[in-house]
A and B are shown apart, each in its own frame.
Chain A
Amino acid sequence: MKKKRIGAVLYIGICFLFFYLPIVVTMIYSFNSSKSLTRFESFSLRWYENLFTNGEIMNAVYVSVTIALLATAISTILGTLTAIGLSKSRRILKELIINVNNIPIMNPDIVTAISLMILFSSLKMEKGYLTMLLAHIAFCTPYVITSVYPKVRNLDPNLANAAMDLGATPFQALTKVILPMLKEGIYAGILLAFTMSFDDFVISYFVTGNGVSNISIIVYNMTKRTNPTINALSTLVILVIVITLVFVQVIPLLARRKREQGEALAEMGEINEIDGMQKEERI
């Protein structure tokens, strides 16, 4: 059994090396003082300096971040409201919407991308920031719905009625009763939407224009020659994504531990109180 374990660990290790080695190497060479991608000469932040003084790149960072935030906010609101409405809709309508909603998830990115590109040019919309934002909302919202809708289905259908019987307006029933119960699904949706939008290349590449580029497009245009500045940029992007993921995985764990700790402390407090009382009695 033990021998088998060693083999398993070895194989899993090799697979993880395969996944992570290129990423780690890119990160290491972003701190290289020379332009070489093979010889590590000495540690320097030269490429990060380059990065932050390069107006084009900083502009792309601005575009990526603002579009990701806006698209996440809008698609979360749109998706959550739709998911709530969906559970109350007629069966045929529900199935129709869910099926159409699945199209952008199932379709290859490139098909979604060109379909939107054709749409925007048919509408004579100027390609740029706005078209990119609309496209991002279009591909993020379906993911929000697929993560929120199952939670809505698990809700007791009488909850909203109960709240309204007790005098809540429909709006209050929504914000005070239903939304808090969907928290988990909404957080999952936010996470998905943000990372998908922040990371998107294919769709942004086709629907943008007039020099508006996000980080991925800049990287794509710069890869024709290896350039350590891209290493620095991709290190930062990967860090943002990984930190977001770890944050999301770890926060619930920490919260639980805090609660457990709190409970333990409370118990200890009780014991202390009892001790104190006993002492007082003795006095």
Chain B
Amino acid sequence: MKQFVKLVRPYMVWLVVMVIVPLLLIVLYSVTTGGNDLVNIQFTLDNFKKMTEPIYVAVFVKSFQLGLISVGICLVAGYILAYLITLFSERVQGLLILFVTIPMWINTLLRTYAWICLLSDNGIINTVLGLFGIEPVSMMYTDFAVILGLVSDLLPFMVIPIHTSLCKIDHSLHEAAMDLGANRFQTFWRVTFKLSIPGVLNGIIMTFLLSISTFVIPKLLGGGQYMLIGNLVETQFISVGDWNFGSAISVILAFIILIAITCMKRIDKEEIEEE
């Protein structure tokens, strides 16, 4: 049996080289200046200070705004969808959930490209509107297009955890609540919703994280001028070439994610303890 312990070693080396060192490099870049070569580096906090400049603050604010709006829409639409799915028999539920998950497996890029065909000025939606005599609406390169793209990309990530926690609820609790005189709304609000909160929180955190780090959706649906945190990082690395500043933004991004995941773990832990 002892022989198998050695099997871990190659992967340990791999993790150090491909995960830990690269992350340390980002941190190193974020606190230094001196170009992209690491030859004559100097330590500095300027990269973080630069983020307080109004243009960059605006990018962060915009990312959070759009993130929160899309998460809000996902939450309402996703909760209703997850709840309605639980009304069906187990077999049908499995099938419906499969249909919710299939889009998660298809590349975001391709699905976002598909939205362009629908939304563009001479796209299908405008053609259909034209049939009813409505003037074409310019939808591409607006907040609307970006939010639509985000919601369609993130909705499954909201539905799945909520559905999971709704399924766990013991059905006799509903009957008990009704027997004790609660009306439908009270039963839903004080029993069903309350018990599904862990799933809701997991869904919110997942979708929020994905929404603030994306750069494909805003780039394709928002146009080249559209800047969210992800796009800012991309331009720093691909076109501007200021790796130090780009790294500093990533460090902040990773930090936000770390906090969110800690929250998520705590929720899961509480849930397990309750059980």
Residues of A at under 8 Å CB distance from B? 4-5, 8, 11-12, 15-16, 18-23, 25-26, 29, 37-39, 78-79, 81-82, 84-86, 88-89, 93, 97, 100-101, 103-104, 106-112, 114-119, 121-122, 134, 138, 141, 157, 160-161, 170, 174, 195, 199, 201-202, 206, 216, 219-220, 223, 226, 230-231, 234, 237-238, 241-242, 245, 249
Contacts and interface: CB of A to CB of B under 8 A. Distances in A.
B7 interface: yes
B189 interface: no
B91 to A, nearest CB: 12
Given A223-B220, A226-B116, A230-B113, A111 B4 contact: no
A88 B110 CA distance: 42
Nearest to B128: A38
B4 A84 contact: yes
B208 to A, nearest CB: 11
Nearest to B236: A114
Contact of B113 (A18, A81, A219, A241): A219
B114 A23 contact: yes
Contacts of B15: 97, 100-101
Interface residues of B, number: 80
A19 B233 CA distance: 29
B103 interface: yes
A82 B7 contact: yes
A231 B117 contact: yes
A281 B244 CA distance: 93
Contacts of B87: 4-5, 8
Contacts of A37: 117, 120, 122-124
A84 B237 contact: no
Interface of B: 1-12, 14-15, 17-23, 25-26, 29, 36, 38, 77, 80-81, 84-85, 87-88, 96, 98-100, 102-103, 105-111, 113-118, 120, 122-124, 126-127, 152, 155-156, 209-210, 213, 215-216, 220, 230, 233-234, 237-238, 243, 246-247, 250, 253-254, 257, 261
A195 B110 CA distance: 14
Nearest to B251: A111
Q: Is the interface of A mostly helix, strand, loop or mixed?
A: helix
Nearest 6 Cβ contacts at the A-B interface: A85-B7, A108-B213, A22-B114, A115-B22, A85-B8, A82-B11
A159 to B, nearest CB: 10
B98 to A, nearest CB: 7
Contacts of A201: 107-109, 216
A160 B2 CA distance: 10
B25 A118 contact: yes
A100 B123 contact: no
B19 A238 contact: no
A78 B14 contact: yes
A141 B253 contact: no
Contact of B111 (A23, A88, A202): A23
Nearest to B36: A121
A78 B10 contact: yes
Nearest to B124: A38
B1 A84 contact: no
A223 B116 CA distance: 9
A108 B261 CA distance: 12
Contact of B4 (A78, A88, A110): A88
Nearest to B80: A11
A103 B152 contact: no
Given A138-B18, A223-B220, A238-B106, A12 B7 contact: no
Contact of A25 (B25, B117, B237): B117
